[in-house]
Amino acid sequence: MTTAPERTHRTSRPPMTQVAGRLINGSVRRSYEPAVAIDWDAPLVEGKYFLPKEVISLYGTAYWEELTEEQRIELSRQELANVLSVGLWFENILNRGLLLQLLREDPASPFAHYVLTEMGDECRHMTMFGKVIDRVGARPFRMRFADRVMASALPHFLRGSLLWVGALIGEEIFDAQQRRIMGDPELQPVVAQLMRIHVTEEARHIRFAREGVVHRMQDASRFERFLVANLQGIGGPVMQRALVHKGIYHRAGLDADRALREARANPHHREMAVVGFAPLAAFLEENGLMGRVARRMWQRAGFLP
Contact positions vs Fe ion (CB under 5 A): 125, 171, 202, 205
Altogether, the residues listed in the chain come to a count of 305
Give the nearest distance from C-beta 253 to Fe ion in angstroms. 30
Nearer to Fe ion (CB atom), residue 260 or residue 280: 280
In the complex, minimum distance from the CB of residue 178 to Fe ion, in angstroms, rounded to a whole number: 10
In sequence order, the β-bridge partners of residue 187 are 49
Query: Which amino acid belongs to residue 104?
Result: R
Q: Closer to Fe ion at the Cβ: 172 or 262?
A: 172
- The identity of residue 8, as a single letter, is T
Cβ nearer to Fe ion, comparing 125 with 135? 125
Nearer to Fe ion, 63 or 164 (CB): 164
Specify the residue, 30 or 300, whose C-beta has the smaller distance to Fe ion: 30
Query: What DSSP state is assigned to residue 12?
Result: S
Which are the contacts of 58, defined by CB distance < 8 A and separation ≥ 6? 64, 67, 75, 259, 262, 263, 266, 269
Closest Cα partner for 118 from 21, 208, 38? Answer: 208
Q: Which is nearer to Fe ion, 73 or 128 (CB)?
A: 128
CB of 194 to Fe ion, least distance (A): 10
Nearer to Fe ion, 184 or 202 (CB): 202
Shortest distance, CB of residue 122 to Fe ion, whole angstroms?
A: 5
At what angle are helices 161-181 and 189-219 packed, to 10 degrees?
150
Q: b/e per residue, 150-172, with b = 16+ CB within 10 A?
A: eeeeebeebebbbbbbbbbbbbb
Instruction: Identify the CA nearest to 18 among candidates 28, 27, 8, 10.
Output: 8
- E strand or H helix that includes residue 293: helix 292-300
- Closest approach of Cβ 258 to Fe ion, in Å? 34
In Å, how far from its chain's centre is CA 107?
27
Smallest distance, Å, CB 115 to Fe ion?
A: 11
Nearest-approach distance from CB 24 to Fe ion, in angstroms: 15
